A and B are shown apart, each in its own frame.
Chain A
Amino acid sequence: MAAGAAARMGDDQLDLELVKRVQAGDNSAFDLLVRKYQHRIGAVVYRFVPDHAESQDVTQEAFIRAYRAMGNFRGDSQFYTWLYRIAVNTAKNHLVATKRRPPTADIAADDAEHHAGAGRLHDHDTPEHQLLRQEIERSVSDTVAGLPEDLRQAITLREVDGRSYEEIAQLMQCPIGTVRSRIFRAREAIDRQLRPLMDNERVRP
């Protein structure tokens, strides 16, 4: 998984760049980090606080705490791992503050997203949200499956295999600029399907 690791490295560097901008006082960079991670952090928080409105509030509090602690982040760990820990602690504190018992067993951030706990998330979810989440996932996968071969191969090599543009260019025997364009067009196609779902999801109380 050297290619995946390389892609992760690029992702980490982008996060680190955004963190440095936040530390320099650029709040729009923090907004980008919020928009990037809110849905994943929301899923983590929901494992502890299985109520939609409540988990939104706890997620909000977790990001605010992360912002206030941003000066302490030195990049020794991945930003998401650091943020995950803050979210878990915030959720646990919330449970204690509301006289509920936090779970004794915890899941490491690295394993969290593929842990059986993710299954528990789905169990707790309301049928409406479960359906919408499934719709979003199905929409993305169906759109990718229906893409023209060159776009589908480019986005899959990038998102699933974690290849760099240079590696994809070599594999597809085309210029890097073409890879960049194909990945963008694939994302545009996915977004055309995703946007109505997101809009419908978000007007719902």
Chain B
Amino acid sequence: MTAIDPQLLEQLSAWMDGELPADEARFLQRRLRNDVALREQWERWQLASACLHGQPVRTMDADLPARIAAGIAGPADERTRRPALGWLATAAAAVFAFALLPRMLAEDPGRTASPVAPVPMASVPAPAPVSPTPDVVALEPPAMSPLPSVRDFPLVDTGGKGWPRSPLLADPRARDGLLVRGELPWRGTVAGGRPLPLPADEPAPETADE
């Protein structure tokens, strides 16, 4: 081990106490960057200082600082690259989707004569509120297209009525009749009744014996 210049050590001692003038501190810090022996001296003085303060210490292995230095040089770079790769993948997916969108619209010639004009997204009206007795809107089976298009889901003018539901729900009286006819024979039984063949979109009953 080569001896360290005592003047440098005295500067280190003063710097440790925050008492070294700025110009000397700059010089010392440049030395510290490349002088491991000086940094080891700093470590021992800090340990002695902790002992004098009565602070509990536990001597670490001599190679711990080197292991930490190796640790921050390796996996840290990998971790900082990961988010960048994630953003890159997201951006690539977005560009790809944008590039495909016009092609999907153009590849559907059978739908170009659709009576529903394309509506810009910004001008899409808010969905109409669902009426308590929704009316039935008969939908014809859509023409098959090789690729699904946004025009396969046109914004049909329902005249302010709610989303089409099961034909059984068109007439409330018919629905109530169906419920009564289906339930009467089993009312009062131990099992509480057989599940009714409910129309589509009808919420399931909470209890079976109601």
Interface residues of chain A, those whose CB is within 8 Å of chain B, are 7, 10-11, 13-14, 21, 26-32, 34-40, 42-43, 46, 55-56, 59-61, 63-64, 67-68, 113-114, 118, 121-122, 125, 129, 132-133, 136-137, 140-141, 144, 155, 158-160, 164-165, 176, 180-181, 183-184, 187-188, 190-191, 194-195, 198, 201-202
Contact = CB atoms under 8 A, between A and B. Distances in A.
Contact of A181 (B10, B32, B79): B10
Nearest to B73: A27
Interface residues of B, number: 48
Given A26-B33, A31-B65, A140-B51, A39 B57 contact: yes
Nearest to B38: A32
Contacts of B46: 35-37, 39
Given A191-B44, A194-B48, A35 B39 contact: yes
15 contacts: A28-B32, A28-B33, A28-B34, A29-B29, A39-B58, A40-B50, A43-B56, A59-B60, A114-B54, A158-B17, A183-B14, A191-B48, A194-B47, A202-B61, A202-B62
B143 interface: no
> Interface of chain A, helix or strand or loop or mixed?
helix
A54 B209 CA distance: 63
A60 B39 CA distance: 18
Interface of B: 9-10, 13-19, 29, 32-34, 39-62, 64-65, 67-69, 71-73, 75-76, 79
A99 to B, nearest CB: 24
B58 A133 contact: yes
Nearest to A144: B52
B42 A140 contact: no
Nearest to B12: A184
Contacts of A183: 13-14, 17
For A34, A68, A176, the residue with the greatest tally of chain B CB atoms inside 10 Å of its CB is A34
Contacts of A122: 56
A32 B52 CA distance: 20
B128 to A, nearest CB: 49
A137 B55 CA distance: 10
B51 A187 contact: no
A60 B67 contact: yes
A119 to B, nearest CB: 9
B76 A60 contact: no
